[in-house]
Amino acid sequence: MLRKITLPLVVAMSITACATLPAPPPSGSQQPTAAPAKAKVTHIRFSLDWAIEGPSAPFLIALDKGYFAEEGLSVVIDRGTGSAGTVTKIASGAYEMGYADINSMIEFNVKNPDKALQAIAILYNNAPMTVFTLKGKGINTPSDLAGKKLGAPAGDAGRRLFPLFAKQVGIDPNSVEWVTMEPALREAALAKGEVDAITAFYGSGWFGLLRNKVAPEDIVAFMYAEQGLPLYGNAVMASPKFLQENEEAVKGFLRALARGWQEALADPAAAVEIVKRREPLIDTEIETQRLKMAIEKHFLTEEVKQNGFGAADLERLKKNIALVVEGFALTSSPQPETIFTDKYLPPKELRMPPGT
């Protein structure tokens, strides 16, 4: 069941509004005094990509500390059930905005041009798709995957983009045998020896193997980004119509989110305590580790240190789009400006990592 996070509606007059209230009517006048105008509040239903975990911290900090409210926003955040589902929910109008894998969005846009979405802030600067195996499987390098049995759900992004990975590491993508399984069974299947390797997002696969009693030193991981595939990952997105009609609200959302992101980077342990207030059943230690891993692998790359929160490099984005078109065998290649825009991001000086 989806767990809904709701922020109470906040309506507040600014100091300027208070300072410019109409003067009282002259003595004896029967004209009523006009009521002060209320500040406009924009309501945003927002869907995450997956469960509420450590890497969700930037969003929950902005919610918990009232940063969204300060921007005149009333925000509801729901957990997701996967990037493809989140993209569909935004496109259908069930949510105004959401957080999902940009590569899934590119595929959706090509297949559904009348419902295309646009990314406005990239948080996962490196895509998290990864091949996991274990020591003792005889897979010491990615090229050793040839002839092996791999497990993943049919719609898993890493599985669907595996031909790109295979091409990059020099093996025939048809040289592996795929076993289709539910996401919850993936790490267990590898731990039990039912498959030789699996595809999963880095943080999910790593901690899923730990839950299945695999020692950290026995985990072997080949992250697509570290094998030379310049794919971006999760991004905030919405429909162009919503973005155009709510420009100031969207800018306020990203200002608040940038503050939450900066605080999560500065103090991951404190950030996870805020996550726990919203999702009490999480394991604080594990989620702190998961957040630190997301910071190291995805949030705080060299590119982010140069360009700040949310940005994209145009040439890299062009390569990203071309790879997705090839990997998903899409019929057309969208222009970069239809996939991502930085016009809603705060100024660069407001979105740099802590300490830079």
- pLDDT, tens only, 234-285: 999 999 999 999 999 999 999 999 999 999 999 999 999 999 999 999 999 9
Inter-axis angle of helices 268-278 and 57-64, nearest 10: 70
Three-state secondary structure call for residue 26: coil
CA atoms of 40 and 284, how far apart (whole Å) = 37
Residue bearing tokens 């918990």: 64
pLDDT band at 38 (very low <50, low <70, confident <90, very high): low
CA atoms of 85 and 101, how far apart (whole Å) = 10
Q: For position 39, what pLDDT does the model report?
A: 73
21 pLDDT above the threshold of 90: no
Q: For position 238, what pLDDT does the model report?
A: 98
24 pLDDT above the threshold of 80: no
Inter-axis angle of helices 284-294 and 268-278, nearest 10: 120
CATH of segment(s) 129-227: 3.40.190.10
Q: In sequence order, which ranges of the chain are alpha helices (DSSP H)?
A: 15-19, 57-64, 67-70, 83-92, 102-111, 157-160, 162-169, 186-191, 202-211, 240-245, 247-266, 268-278, 284-294, 302-307, 314-327, 336-339
Q: In what order do the strands lie in the sheet with 234-238?
A: 4-6, 73-78, 42-47, 97-101, 234-238, 118-122
Question: What six digits make up the tokens of 152?
Answer: 């993943």
Three-state secondary structure call for residue 281: coil
> Which part of the chain is CATH 3.40.190.10?
4-11+40-125+232-350, 129-227
Which residue in 102, 107, 89, 6 sits closest to 47, CA to CA? 89
Domain 4-11+40-125+232-350 is in which class?
alpha beta
